């Protein structure tokens, strides 16, 4: 069984990725691509949807521990956005378990890695998304857009 491709948007102020990553991927989970962001609240839900549309089996955002965000409330903001995104994905018949919010401190690398492994295992247990025309999975399309409009 091949490992699912997963993408993580990770706050610069949350978990220290230096000992855990190499070349934009997690060392222990090379199929997990990581993208650093200034704050978890910086991430837009449309980025998460686009990540799924472009073929990732799952996507997660990691922010600071709740109540300890360097940028005040970015992690609470992102958590609320993901809850809204889950409802939108459900309406569009996409399993909301494909999107997650994690919160970890700078020195909690082992906890972060364990949580990402659990997320990847959960994603691997889900049925594969149905491919759309062009080989892309059918995921949320913007209102009024058709499959042929996707680039």
Residue 119 sits in a domain whose CATH number is 3.40.50
Quick: pLDDT tens for 33-61: 999 999 898 999 999 999 999 999 999 99
Residue 147 lies in a domain: no
- Domain that residue 64 falls in: 6-127
Query: Is residue 149, in this structure, part of any structural domain at all?
Result: no
- In this predicted structure, the answer to whether residue 133 has a pLDDT above a threshold of 80 is no
Instruction: Reply yes or no on whether the pLDDT at 125 is more than 70.
Output: yes
CA–CA dist 119, 97 (Å, integer): 9
User: Of the candidates 47, 52, 59, 60, which has an alpha carbon nearest to the alpha carbon of residue 132?
Assistant: 52
pTM, two decimal places: 0.82
pLDDT averaged over the chain?
84
Q: Is residue 62 part of a domain?
A: yes
133 belongs to a structural domain: no
């Amino acid at each position: 069984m091949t490992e699912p491709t997963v993408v993580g948007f990770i706050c610069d102020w949350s978990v220290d990725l230096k000992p855990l990553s190499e070349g934009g991927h997690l060392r222990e989970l090379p199929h997990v691509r990581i993208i650093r962001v200034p704050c978890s609240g910086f991430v837009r839900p449309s980025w998460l949807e686009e990540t799924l549309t472009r073929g990732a089996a799952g996507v997660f955002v990691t922010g600071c521990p709740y109540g300890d965000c360097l940028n005040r409330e970015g992690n609470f903001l992102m958590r609320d956005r993901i809850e809204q995104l889950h409802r939108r994905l459900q309406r569009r018949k996409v399993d909301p378990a494909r999107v997650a919010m994690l919160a970890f401190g700078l020195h909690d690398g082992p906890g972060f890695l364990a949580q990402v492994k659990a997320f990847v295992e959960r994603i691997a247990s889900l049925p594969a998304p149905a491919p759309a025309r062009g080989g892309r999975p059918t995921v949320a399309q913007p209102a009024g857009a058709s499959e042929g409009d996707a680039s």
